[in-house]
Chain A
Amino acid sequence: MAGFLLRRLLYLVCLVVIATSASYFLAATQLNPRARYEGRNPPPPSAVVDATLDQLNMNDKVPVLTRYQRWAGDLLRGNLGRTIDNQPVNDEIGRRMWVSLRLVLIGALVGTFLGVAAGAYGAVTQYQLSDRLLTVFSFVTLSIPAVVLGVLFKNAGIGINNLLGFRLLYTTGEMTPGLDPWTVTGLLNRTAHLVLPSLVLIVIAVAFYGRYQRNAMLDVLGSDFLRTARAKGLSRTRALIKHGLRTALIPMATFFAYEFALLFVGATFTERLFGWHGMGEYFVNSVTKNDVNSVAGVTLFVGVLVLIAGFLSDLAYAALDPRVRV
């Protein structure tokens, strides 16, 4: 078993190297950091631009392989290089990943739990009113782009505030600047900021997991072992939860693993709409700012997380299903 895991890990590391190298080359050849300096008014002398770009390892006059070599060398020492604003990429990612986590965690947990519950309930009550309502809800939600959904929730929040006459829900940022986050007021303020974006994430997660869980549960519902459990004397509900849902969670293991590994990556649109300075926002901004090192850094970060997720999903599968254990 240990040998198997080690081989698997080695294989994953190879994949990470290939994926990040490819994305570095893509970013280094397609983005144009020089434009950022040349576009200034008045344009700085080209020697100054070259010197700055050289310092950042983003000078397009240096062959891309040489730049890659330097970047990879830094990377081996644990340094992702500097952003186009001359800040360490490490610091930027190190700060922003926690912002993303704070934004997404509650939404993901609640959304997954509710989604699994809704899906299982929908399967048990197949073709009844509750199942049909859940189905309609899922399809409508999944067919609305996240941006539109976010705007709808934002407007609804503002509407509620107007109706109440005071500001109950915040629509921008993580908390009101200047507050101490570890006081009651601070925590309440954080919560008020978190409600709307979390709701958006929950609604999407429920729609998504609800669909998949419903199908997984339907596969299990007609199975003989549920009948055996009831023949033993378990009530229908207990048999459905202990034997049915437990088994129907197995095919969901992959989704869970990916979801929780990618919590740090954040939710691009939700972050942008609600003004949270997380990883998703960082990535989009980096691309628009022609920030080669940031784009490569974020890609590497996400790549590593995806591979961890793959690894987690194997482990989760083995934990949930004794049949695949070695």
Chain B
Amino acid sequence: MPQEPLLSVSNLSVSFRSESGLVRAVRGVSYDVRPGELLGIVGESGSGKSVSSLAIMNLLPGHAQVSGSARLNGQELIGRSDEELSAIRGKQIAMVFQDPLSALTPVYTVGEQIAEAVLVHEQVSKAAAKDRAVQLLELVGIPNATQRASAFPHEFSGGMRQRVMIAMAIANAPALIIADEPTTALDVTIQAQILDVLQTARKVTGAAIVLITHDLGVIAGVADRVAVMYAGTIVETGTVDELFYTPRMPYTLGLLGSIPRADAGARQPLTPIEGTPPSMVALPSGCPFRPRCPMRQDVCAEREPELLPIEGDGGPDARSVRLQPDPPGGPEGPQLQAGATNDQRPTTNDHRASCHFRDDIERRGLTSRDIFVAPAPTELARVLGARETRPTMLAVRDLVKAYPLMKGAVLRRKVGEVRAVDGVSFDIREGETLGLVGESGCGKTTTIMEILNLEKPLSGSIQVLGKDTASMTRADRFAIRRDLQVVFQDPMASLDPRLPIGDILAEPLRAHGVPDAQVSRRIRELLQLVGLQPEHVNRYPQAFSGGQRQRVGIARALALEPKVLVLDEPVSALDVSVRAGVINLLERLRAQLGLSYLFVAHDLAVVRHIADRIAVMYLGRIIETGTVDEVFDAPAHPYTQALLSAIPLPDPRKERQRVRIVLKGDLPSPANPPSGCRFRTRCQTFGALTEAQRQTCINEPPALAPRTGSADHLDACHWATVETVL
């Protein structure tokens, strides 16, 4: 039975004037939000997902031109005066923004800021509002709420600040909460906490939530319905199951096929979407996805498809008959048995897609692998023997890096030290990828910076290609840098904007004395190798998209034919749809050139996809290491289990069945780590241990040792027990 919608958006358009022309950021968006439901809006950066929500709240800058309609409980919001909307904002619609540091005013305490939200809408005393603020802080899980209410935003961690934002949003029990990328800036375990708090907030207030995100995994677990946005418009909408299991718009199909999954065992190349999202100034005629769509026909250029229902999309029974199970070996995708109606989510008839061939896709039951071409696995340059027989390319033993902790402005003095890396050991054999993972602050970046320094470490040793950095001369270091190269996270910041890419690529070659005649030949080779056109050699970095720039960064790293590549979060700054292309490129290069990778990332799904082995770091130490399959399928350390359990999977049914391990609190300060096992303060199994066992955790730091039966799978937990969480 159709309910009256709470929010009804129809034909909403937003445009901005810019120097290069009219930017049509949102082009005719329509959707409904029913009371109490959670609508997920998914899209890449620039798809108009945030702009459309800000337009509803009239929070866009003054030069934005907004047209169309948005009705909240029947009352029109678009075109209302600021005064009238102020009475609605915060009272009936509340918002949670992405970056909780910049979203809170730095000069007021969090208690004051929450109390303010109450005071604007209610005639209560200041003291009552303050009490209310403390209650709200308790509700969102801030310990010692009474004291913490008088702390300033900068005294909170990122996750805690986001809790404050949620407390502020629910202060007046709104009917609708718009959460704009609420977990994007957060670590995965903190993301799990915040999604939990958001669910609590929903239960307490009964509010409907519009959750805006680029992460399909986040949506899969919590949303009732999903709208996918591309180029300023909704291209597909439906229930979460319809969208994830039977997507009917090629963009959605491509997006789902291009994301690596943490629960995928067998490694297959991802199916990337070619090209990049279009510029909103000069949209192609017809379907905006046409230039990237393998299914495009003449009709696609002639007119833009409307968002229309899929014919014969009758219900789960009707669909399941047509569904083809995935190719064997891939557990992803639909595993729906005929008549799987025990699912509690309602199936509606409003699965719509804007593609001329939606019915065709429906009839033939096409999957992303049918539409998008996955590259064939690259032949290895040469067959590698067993791991033990291969030479070690990079060996790190008991590495320690400490920073002094200084105090005093005039007379600075050392009051202690922060051991950012405290006894880290690993090695990388030829042709192997080691994924180094952990949350921010765990010391993974410090580790790779120590390796790239090629200096004698404070304690421990680093060996590159068998040579110890402690005994290297300047000339040795210079020579070894040919073999050890790095690709950085942010392709915008790591390329000099004043140099054409040809010069950027020539720099390492000239520095190492490659003759000029060979330099230009090598540059062309490199550009071809990373899938860029050699004719673009004279273009500047700003002429390239993010994905292309990262390819330039990879080409630069490869210029001197290195043997080991350090990759520092190489895809985390990229849009979802271009990520797969770069990941595939890295895989192809490794096979083709026989490279070894040290792959640093916080995204575990990417690591599972690309790495052979994995090392999990927590507070400066490796707490579990082994092959990816061992660690992902049979994690032994409670932290690894929590980390893996926090990864949202782009699979709604699996998500609903999973029980998430939500860790307590934040990362302790590395300046003052807990005694014994560093993880014990947040450990989910600590509470279930006997008193004697707990004493061991408190007094003895656990060593990295094989405890699971496999000699290669090490963990640092006194009471390790394997638990499957994916």
Chain B residues whose C-beta falls within 8 Å of the C-beta of A8 in the assembled complex: 410
Tell me, yes or no, whether A15 is within 8 Å of chain B by CB.
Answer: no
Q: Please, which residue of chain A has its CB at the minimum distance from the CB of B63?
A: A127
Contacts of A223 in B (CB 8 A): 102
The total of chain B residues at the interface (CB under 8 A) is 37
Asked if B94 and A247 sit within 8 Å, CB to CB, the answer is no
Contact residues, A159-187 vs B (CB, 8 A): none
A321 to B107, Cβ gap below 8 A? yes
Answer whether residue B525 sits at the interface, using C-beta atoms and an 8 A cutoff.
no
Q: For residue A236, which residues in chain B have a CB less than 8 angstroms away from its CB?
A: 82
* A232 x B168 contact (CB < 8 A): yes
Say yes or no: is B59 at the interface (Cβ < 8 Å to chain A). yes
Given contacts A224-B97, A231-B95, contact A320 B121 (CB under 8 A): no
Within 8 Å by CB of A233, from B54, B89, B102, lies B89
Q: Is A231's CB under 8 angstroms from B57's CB? A: yes
Cβ of B547 within 8 Å of any chain A Cβ, yes or no, is no
Give the CA-CA distance A250 to B87 in the complex, in Å.
30
Q: Is A225 an interface residue (CB 8 A)?
A: yes
**Is there a chain B Cβ closer than 8 Å to A7's Cβ?**
yes
**Given A4-B409, A322-B152, are A225 and B90 also a contact pair (CB < 8 Å)?**
no
A232 touches B107 (CB 8 A): no
One of A222, A230, A243, A323 near B89 (C-beta < 8 A): A230
A7 to B86, CA, bound (A): 49
Q: With A7-B411, A223-B102, A227-B97 given, is the CB distance from A233 to B117 under 8 Å?
A: yes
CB distance from B18 to the nearest CB of A (A): 14
Q: Say yes or no: B107 contacts A228, CB within 8 Å.
A: no
Cβ-based interface call for A229 (8 A): yes
Minimum CB–CB distance from B100 to chain A (whole Å) comes to 9
CB nearest neighbor in B for A125: B62
Known contacts A4-B409, A231-B57; is A322 also within 8 Å of B107 by CB?
Answer: yes
**Inside 8 A of A225's CB, which chain B residues have their CB?**
102-106
**A233 adjacent to B105 (CB under 8 Å):** no
Q: What residue in chain A is nearest B83 (Cβ atoms)?
A: A235
Of residues 103 through 154 on chain A, the ones whose CB sits less than 8 Å from some CB of chain B are: none
Q: Complex: how many Å from CA A222 to CA B83?
A: 20
If the complex has contacts A7-B410, A224-B99, A322-B152, are A233 and B107 also in contact, measured as CB distance less than 8 A? no
A246 on interface, CB distance cutoff 8 Å:
yes
Complex partner residue of B86 from A227, A233, A243, A323, CB under 8 angstroms = A233
Task: Output the least CB separation between A55 and chain B (Å).
Answer: 43
Of the four ranges (under 10, 10 to 19, 20 to 34, 35 or more), the interface on chain A belongs to 20 to 34
CB distance from B418 to the nearest CB of A (A): 20
Q: How far is the CA of A247 from the CA of B113 in the complex (A)?
A: 14
Judge whether B107 and A231 touch: CB under 8 Å.
no
As a 0/1 sequence over residues 1 to 34 of chain A, the CB contacts with chain B under 8 angstroms (1 = contact) are 0001001100100000000000000000000000
Q: Which of A233, A236, A247, A321 has the most chain B CB within a 10 Å cutoff?
A: A233
Distance between Cα atoms of A27 and B97 in the complex (Å): 62
Chain B positions 71 through 98: 1 when the CB is less than 8 Å from some CB of chain A, otherwise 0: 0000000000011001111110011010
Q: Does B682 contact A (CB under 8 A)?
A: no
B53 to chain A, nearest CB (A): 11
Q: How far is the CB of B251 from chain A (nearest CB, A)?
A: 29
- Minimal beta-carbon separation of A82 from chain B (angstroms): 38
How close is A307's CB to chain B, nearest CB, in angstroms?
15
Which residues of B, 135-172, contact A by the 8 Å Cβ criterion? 152, 154, 165, 168, 171-172
Q: Are A321 and B120 in contact, CB atoms less than 8 angstroms apart?
A: no
> What is the chain A residue whose CB lies nearest that of B171?
A232
Q: Are B107's CB and A246's CB within 8 A?
A: yes
Report whether B106 and A233 are in contact in the complex, using a CB–CB cutoff of 8 Å.
no
A232→B90 contact, CB < 8 A = yes
Contacts of B409 on A, CB cut-off 8 Å? Answer: 4
| CB neighbours of B59 from chain A (8 A) | 227, 230-231
A8 to B82, CA, bound (A): 48
| Interface flag for A158 (CB, 8 Å) | no
Q: List residues of chain B with CB within 8 A of the CB of A227.
A: 54, 59, 97, 103
> Which residues of B have CB within 8 Å of A11?
410
> Quick check: A235 and B95 within 8 Å, CB to CB?
no
Contact of B105 (CB < 8 Å), options: A4, A222, A228, A235: A228
Q: Does B332 contact A (CB under 8 A)?
A: no
Cα(A234)–Cα(B59), bound, Å: 12
CB distance from B408 to the nearest CB of A (A): 8
Rounded to whole angstroms, the CA-CA distance of A8 and B87 in the bound complex is 49
Complex contact B94–A243 (CB within 8 A): no
Residues in chain A near residue B103, CB distance under 8 A: 224-225, 227-228
Known: A233-B120, A247-B106. A322 touches B154 (CB 8 A): yes
Residue of A nearest to B117 (CB): A232
Structural contact, A322 and B89, CB atoms closer than 8 A: no
Residues of B close to A322: CB separation below 8 A:
106-107, 109, 152, 154
Q: Which residues of A contact B90 (CB under 8 A)?
A: 231-234
How many angstroms between the C-alpha atoms of A321 and B97 in the bound complex?
23
Question: Residue on A with the closest CB to B104?
Answer: A225
Complex contacts, B61 vs chain A, CB 8 Å: 222
Q: In the complex, which residues 168-192 of chain B have their Cβ closer than 8 Å to any Cβ of chain A?
A: 168, 171-172
Q: Which residues of A contact B104 (CB under 8 A)?
A: 225, 228
Assuming A227-B59, A246-B107, is B120 touching A232 (CB within 8 A)?
Answer: yes
Please state if A247 and B99 are interface contacts (CB–CB under 8 Å): no
Determine if B450 is an interface residue (Cβ-Cβ < 8 Å): no
A residues near B109, Cβ cutoff 8 Å: 322
Residue B116 is within 8 A (CB to CB) of chain A in the complex? yes
Provided the pairs A7-B411, A247-B107 are in contact, do residues A230 and B102 lie with their beta carbons within 8 angstroms? no
- Add 20 more A-B contacts to A234-B120, A322-B154 (CB < 8 A): A4-B409, A7-B411, A224-B99, A224-B102, A227-B54, A227-B103, A228-B95, A228-B103, A228-B104, A230-B57, A230-B86, A231-B57, A233-B86, A233-B87, A233-B88, A233-B91, A234-B86, A234-B90, A235-B82, A236-B82
Listed by A's residue number, 28 A-B pairs whose Cβ atoms lie within 8 Å are A223-B102, A224-B99, A224-B102, A224-B103, A225-B105, A227-B97, A228-B97, A228-B104, A228-B168, A231-B90, A231-B94, A232-B89, A232-B116, A232-B120, A232-B168, A233-B86, A233-B89, A233-B90, A233-B117, A233-B172, A234-B90, A234-B116, A235-B86, A236-B82, A247-B105, A322-B107, A322-B109, A323-B152
Residue numbers of A with Cβ under 8 A of B are 4, 7-8, 11, 222-225, 227-236, 243, 246-247, 250, 320-323
The 9 closest A-B pairs by CB, nearest first: A233-B90, A232-B90, A224-B102, A231-B95, A224-B103, A225-B105, A233-B120, A232-B117, A322-B152
